[in-house]
Amino acid sequence: MSDDARFGLDRHVTLPGPLRLDGGALLSPVDIAYETYGTLDADGGNAILICHALTGDQNVASNHPITGKPGWWTRLVGPGKPVDPDRHFIICSNVIGGCTGSSGPATVNPATGKPWGMTFPVITIRDMVRAQAMLLDHLGVERLAAVIGGSMGGMQALSWSATFPDRVRAAIVIASAARHTAQNIAFHEVGRQAVMADPNWRGGDYYENGDPPAAGLAVARMAAHITYLSEAGLTEKFGRRLQTRSAKSFGFDADFQVESYLRHQGISFVDRFDANSYLYITRATDYFDLAEEHGGQLANAFRASKARFCLISFDTDWLYPTAESRAIVHALNAAGAPASFVELNSPFGHDAFLLDSPGMNRVIDGFLRAGA
């Protein structure tokens, strides 16, 4: 196996489509940016699809082309890790609506020769999954050994098992939910309004002048980032400690360390993410309701599934708390689908699935090996 084949190939494909979207529009062509690691077995039985979270991308285990930082899940994916290119053919694609190469508001509309902007059709989690299925068809992958995702990636993993029940042997769903709550939607609406209130947004037509709504997107990221953390984690890391000063300024600079941290998160985010994509992807997660797609009964989503399921939650995650995972497990039990579930301890809140979690790695490694 060559080093490139083993450690990752950054690729792009334009598929003719059309892809019929849940909203009724037809998307054609369909551009998909993706990475692969490892080699597909002769029988095609070792393919694993990794689905990224809201602000993630296809760079799951390779350096990000803009920031230069390591891939977002190098703790889980790599040689000797639970998802290992020596054993698995690993695929990760940028979702449609994203901004690192797949069809989205920043890509060119072939009908106009200009970026789609807000004329790009609204998409759903299921639309993202259908586009991924088109990519797998292109790669010659008929059936997945596993689909794995955390947060919005977990929603995709659930949707995969419901939409393509014959193509998934196992699904690993981490820190996720089967639908967005009113609180989830509310936080996203705050972020969207921050973007759209920025005068540089210009109704989504900001690409040609090179002056995006950075301030609005930074505020949206700051608000969302709070939901990824836990109160205990924030207190331990920052408390009420001041930032590079010995006394309060009695002004509106970043007096507190936590303020400086959030501002840094917001500023660094705008360097790698498109504001319009943020609108589209948050809307897709808000629309997600797997039970609604199956007659109002979540168990119905899994009745045709042939997959084994593994669900993992974290005790300090208040964005997608353990109760959301338990609801999915109950629906799986009602549908007669084999499911295992564990709640792990972590001080890091929702972000725990992206951080060092030996317990999560052990669970995933054992689950994958049990089905090999």
The helix (H) or strand (E) run that includes residue 109 is strand 108-109
Q: Is 259 left (phi over 0), alpha (psi -120 to 50) or beta?
A: alpha
Other C-beta atoms within 10 Å of 273: how many? 22
Residue 150: DSSP 8-state? E
**CA angle at 84 for the pair 78 and 89, rounded to the nearest 5°:** 115
Catalytic residue among 62, 93, 151, 357: 151
**CA angle at 307 for the pair 303 and 308, rounded to the nearest 5°:** 115
Catalytic residue among 255, 286, 317, 351: 317
Q: What is the C-alpha separation between 344 and 154, in angstroms, rounded?
A: 16
Let me know if 223 is exposed, middle or buried by CB neighbors in 10 A (0-12, 13-18, 19+). Answer: middle
Specify whether 365 is catalytic: no
Written as one letter, the residue type at 318 is W
Specify whether 350 is catalytic: yes
Specify whether 151 is catalytic: yes
| Contact by Cβ (8 Å): 319, 227 | yes
Can you tell me which residue has the tokens 């054609």?
28
Catalytic residue among 93, 350, 351, 357: 350
Nearest to 174 by CA among 40, 303, 76: 76
Let me know if 154 is exposed, middle or buried by CB neighbors in 10 A (0-12, 13-18, 19+). Answer: buried
Q: What is the C-alpha separation between 157 and 173, in angstroms, rounded?
A: 6
The helix (H) or strand (E) run that includes residue 146 is strand 146-150
Which positions are catalytic?
Answer: 151, 317, 350
